A = this chain, B = another copy of it.
Amino acid sequence: MSTPLTSDLSARKGYHHGNLRDALIEAARQLLTERGAQGFTLVDAARRAGVSAAAPYRHFRDKDALLAEVALGGFKDFAARQTGALKGHSDPIAAFRAMGLAYLAFAREEPGAYAAMFMGGGAGPSPEKIGETGFEALVRALKPLVGDPPPQGVDPVRLACQVWALSHGVALLSASGQLEKGFGVNPQELLIEGVERLVRGALSGAGKAPSAD
C-alpha cells in the first residue's frame, strides 16, 4: 500500500528507524501471511523491522493493538475493493458477481490481513474508523436487484447478511482446504452460484414469512 513491499523494512537512518510504526504493520501483515495468526510473534515483527523487541511498545500498547491496526488496514482495503468491484459494472447482476469474486480474491491475496480481521480474538477495531464498510456497498449493490421498494418479505439487509455469511463461509472453508480437497469444488463457482440462488430464492419466495420454530 503506502509502503512498497520491496523496501527493506529494516532500513533505518540511524539510531531511530524513521517509520517504525508503518514498518511494524507491514511486517506483521507479512508474518501473518507466512506463519498464520497462531505463529505470529511480536518479537518477530520487531526483528523484521530491524529493532529491538521493546521498540514496538513506543507505537502500540501491546501485541493485540498492532494486530488491530493490521485488521483496520484490512477492513479499509477490503471496503475499497468491494466498492471498486461495484463501480466497475453497470449490470447489477454482473456487479454482484464481481463483488463476490472480490471477496474471495481478498481472502486469498491478503491472508495476513484477513487473519487479523477474523481469526483474531474477535475484538476487531471499532467500526467507526473504517468509513464505508464493504457490507454497506453490498447492500447498495443489492437494492437494484430486488427492486425499490423491495417485494413483501424481502429485506435487503437480511439478504445482504446471507450473502455476506455465504461469502465468509466459502472463504474460510476454502482457506482450510476443506472444499477443494474434500469435494473438488471450485470456490469461485460455488459462491457465485450460491449468491444467484440466494437472490433468486428470495425473489421467488417473496411474501412468505420466515418461520423460526
Contacts and interface: CB of A to CB of B under 8 A. Distances in A.
Contacts of A194: 162, 165-166, 198
A200 B210 contact: no
Interface in A188-213: 188-194, 196-202, 204-205, 210-213
Interface in A21-73: 36, 38
Contact of A173 (B157, B164, B170, B186): B164
Contact of A201 (B36, B121, B186, B204): B204
Interface string A93-105: 0000110010000
A101 to B, nearest CB: 6
A164 B178 CA distance: 11
B121 A36 contact: yes
Contact of A197 (B122, B177, B205): B205
A161 B8 CA distance: 43
Interface string A170-189: 10110111010011011011
Contacts of A157: 183, 185
Given A38-B120, A98-B213, A161-B173, 11 more contacts: A101-B213, A122-B176, A161-B183, A162-B166, A162-B193, A165-B190, A165-B194, A167-B169, A168-B173, A201-B201, A204-B204
